[in-house]
Amino acid sequence: MADAPKAVVLPPGSTVGILGGGQLGRMLAIAAARLGLRTHVYEPGAAPAGDVAAQLTTASYDDLDALGAFARSVDVVTYEFENVPARALDAIEGVVPVRPGRRALAVSQDRLDEKRFVSGLGIAVADHAAVGSREELDAAIARIGPGILKTRRLGYDGKGQARVRGPEDADAAFAAMQGAPAIYEAWVAFEREVSVIAARGLDGAVVAYDPGENVHRDGILRTTTVTGAAGRGIRADAALIAGRLLNALDYVGVIGVELFVAGGRLLVNEFAPRVHNSGHWTIEACVVDQFQQHVRAVAGWPLGDGARHSDAVMENLIGDEADRWREIAAGGGGLHLYGKAETRPGRKMGHVTRLSPKT
Amino acid sequence: MADAPKAVVLPPGSTVGILGGGQLGRMLAIAAARLGLRTHVYEPGAAPAGDVAAQLTTASYDDLDALGAFARSVDVVTYEFENVPARALDAIEGVVPVRPGRRALAVSQDRLDEKRFVSGLGIAVADHAAVGSREELDAAIARIGPGILKTRRLGYDGKGQARVRGPEDADAAFAAMQGAPAIYEAWVAFEREVSVIAARGLDGAVVAYDPGENVHRDGILRTTTVTGAAGRGIRADAALIAGRLLNALDYVGVIGVELFVAGGRLLVNEFAPRVHNSGHWTIEACVVDQFQQHVRAVAGWPLGDGARHSDAVMENLIGDEADRWREIAAGGGGLHLYGKAETRPGRKMGHVTRLSPKT
């Protein structure tokens, strides 16, 4: 696959195309507008991002005509989710650059490729094995011990995953994959889950934000906490890992890297080639947040400073938790609601970030 | 004029109508979106705010049909400029509430009414006199000494104003009014110009931001600086003045009050019944900025905390200064470009806010 044409720096007034119209696309569109850039959102379904975009196309990712027209109307294309179909990218890439590029998408779309890629860079990951059959699963459990079976592709927020405590869980776990190729990953007895949000510019410059400590429940991110203590002993290593990934992928844009802290060591769990839920705290705690940083990168602008001026705790509002908006608004903190028409259990409806003096 | 109906609190998903589609409307629309509110912008000309609004109406303020349709499509109406024609307000007020209300608009649209109103609250203003004729101007100069002759209505960024050093300037100054009713204001030998941005909620709660020190050039705001020193000795008085104005006007929304510090005393120069250029620093330095605060107020939400976590210097980018966007973006600070298609001398094209630790 030839590289997309290296576009020149996009001046204010240019248009950034965004694949996906959810909350990440919405916050990207707002960030672009702040810099005087226009946005065109492409989304097959309901698009909260459409309310803050100069233009919205509602069409399927199979609609090559619509994708072509979209590509011709913009100066660069980026995306809010990593499962952009390859054929959609094909239709766009001949017209305008897609950033971050093909490589990052391909690697991150397949959990096994991702583990191999990261590990190939000399970065620690959990022990793992490909599972294409029941026999391979048995062998993996025997060799690795307790773990998690995950589909290699798709799945998010804990979907498409099955915990395996021992051989007795193998039947149920294998069935849960519904025949899809899978990866078996060792259960990591981590002390903490952290993530680092970093960016690489078109000029190769890399900027990392301070790492945040994440708490998940039912596979969904609940809180990210960024303090001096959260980053102690891992800040430099997390930034180095992110930088190594970004450079190896010749990446342009923001990446979210989830890590385990286990036995004082950092293991990469996964990365997302996009702005990341665990980076929402940057909106309040940094002058240039992850969304503006991403827009700067894909538009070829110089990256901003990633320094934070405050400590931050970001709390997701899941499902009907967002119904408490009035109480949360009164309680201080930076409230964000995503404009989703329908509240569903497990759905991310908004978040709130509370600041305190920097430690 | 009967009060507009007191709307209940507007839940997320409601629509805020905004009269005026310039940079203030644009930043209001972004703030509303962050809270899960939709916006509909009404603007006769080019509308940078349209790019971040769910809906845009391009029509004149004389078009009562368009205004009626606009009013019916929204849940509350606010505005980004104080010179909204009275007939336009009439067309809207029967349908939905306009916030801030009629009184604040009427008072602030006329510099003489404004001075009398403020002064009537026991708040100091510069000595002044109504000037409807050349004789009145001569008398005013004789009584007051050096001053500024201003049209009572319209005019902004120094337009419609003439400096008078003595009787020898009277001819030119009077001619500059082009027959419009005017006000003669004493020249205040101020030590500093400051402004305070404050808000009043539908429930009557008042929140004030720390005052900022302003530097104007050629009648246009250049910088606002907010530090401990900028507020020393005046913070409490400035907040009290703003609060007295807000309560007297039964105000709902954000107000910008410009003040002179002269001989250790605060004199109100003027106020604007809207978000204000000298409050742009709140975007980076506060969790709830002036735009979100205004949206919270007009939507009947609880006001947010007005505390700042940092010192800030906001610098306007006027005319071709915004052409330096790339250099400014690389230099750190929060860059904002307003998406205006045409650069003109004296036109506000963007701003940049630089933070430093709070003093």
Torsion sign (Cα): A108, A109, A111, A113: negative
CA atoms within 13 A on the CB side of A179: 0
Q: Is A40 on the interface with B (CB under 8 A)?
A: no
Residue A60's closest CA among A95, A97, A87, A40?
A87
Q: What integer pLDDT is reported at residue B80 of this predicted model?
A: 97
The predicted model gives A163-189 an average pLDDT of: 95
Q: Tell if the CB–CB gap between B38 and A53 is shorter than 8 Å.
A: no
Q: What is the pTM of this model?
A: 0.95
Chain B residues close to A337, C-beta within 8 Å: 12, 34-36
Name residues 268-287 of chain A within 8 A of B (Cβ). Answer: 284, 287
Closest to B337 (Cβ–Cβ): which among A36, A296, A350? A36
CA dist., res. B107 & res. B110, Å (int): 6
Q: Is A319 on the interface with B (CB under 8 A)?
A: no
β-sheet bridge partners, residue B84: none
Q: Tell if the CB–CB gap between B30 and A26 is shorter than 8 Å.
A: no
Closest to B33 (Cβ–Cβ): which among A30, A296, A357? A30
Interface A:B, Cβ pairs < 8 A: 117
Closest to A339 (Cβ–Cβ): which among B29, B33, B304? B33
pLDDT in tens, B58-86: 999 999 999 999 999 999 999 999 989 98
Contact present, A299 and A16 (Cβ < 8 Å): yes
CA dist., res. B282 & res. B209, Å (int): 8
Torsion sign (Cα): A291, A296, A297, A303: negative
Exposed, middle or buried: residue A135 (CB in 10 Å: 0-12, 13-18, 19+)? exposed
Q: What integer pLDDT is reported at residue A237 of this predicted model?
A: 96
CA dist., res. B333 & res. B80, Å (int): 25
Q: What integer pLDDT is reported at residue B1 of this predicted model?
A: 36
Residue A184, pLDDT above cutoff 60: yes
pLDDT in tens, A77-115: 999 999 899 899 999 999 999 999 999 999 999 999 999
Q: Is A21 on the interface with B (CB under 8 A)?
A: no
Q: Tell if the CB–CB gap between B36 and A326 is shorter than 8 Å.
A: no
A interface test, pick of B27, B51, B294, B347 with most A CB neighbours within 10 Å = B51
CA distance B29 to chain A (A): 8
CA dist., res. B322 & res. A10, Å (int): 15
Q: What integer pLDDT is reported at residue A158 of this predicted model?
A: 61
B interface test, pick of A34, A37, A340 with most B CB neighbours within 10 Å = A34
CA dist., res. B275 & res. B292, Å (int): 10
Q: What integer pLDDT is reported at residue B160 of this predicted model?
A: 81
Name residues 107-166 of chain B within 8 A of A (Cβ). Answer: none
CA distance B86 to chain A (A): 30
SS3 sequence of chain A: CCCCCCCCCCCCCCEEEEECCCHHHHHHHHHHHHECCEEEEECCCCCHHHHHCCEEECCCCCCHHHHHHHHHCCCEEEECCCCCCHHHHHHHHCCCCECCCHHHHHHHHCHHHHHHHHHHCCCCECCEEEECCHHHHHHHHHHHCCEEEEECCCCCCCCCEEEECCHHHHHHHHHHCCCCCEEEEECCCCCEEEEEEEEECCCCCEEECCCEEEEEECCEEEEEEECHHHHCCCHHHHHHHHHHHHHHCCCCEEEEEEEEEECCEEEEEEEECCCCHHHCCHHHHECCCHHHHHHHHHCCCCCCCCCECEEEEEEEEEHHHHHHHHHHHHCCCEEEECCCCCCCCCCEEEEEEEEEECC
pLDDT in tens, A267-295: 999 999 999 999 999 999 999 999 999 99
Give the ipTM of the model, two decimals please.
0.94
Give the phi and the psi of residue A264 in degrees, each rounded to 5.
75, 5
Q: How confident is the model at residue A1 (pLDDT cuts 50, 70, 90)?
A: very low
Residue B134 DSSP SS3: helix
Tell me what percent of the residues of chain A surpass a pLDDT of 90. 91
Residue A5, pLDDT above cutoff 60: no
Chain B residues close to A301, C-beta within 8 Å: 326, 329
Q: What integer pLDDT is reported at residue A219 of this predicted model?
A: 85
Q: What tokens appear for A195 in the block?
A: 């993530």
Angle, helices B102-109/B111-120, rounded to nearest 10 degrees? 110
CA dist., res. B74 & res. B38, Å (int): 9
C-alpha distances (whole Å) from B316 to each of B47, B279, B349 are 20, 12, 8
Give the phi and the psi of residue A87 in degrees, each rounded to 5.
-70, -30
Q: What integer pLDDT is reported at residue A47 of this predicted model?
A: 96
**What residues of chain B score a pLDDT lower than 70?**
1-7, 155-159
The predicted model gives A242-246 an average pLDDT of: 98
CA atoms within 13 A on the CB side of B334: 29
Residue A153, pLDDT above cutoff 60: yes
Q: How confident is the model at residue A2 (pLDDT cuts 50, 70, 90)?
A: very low
CA dist., res. A122 & res. A124, Å (int): 6
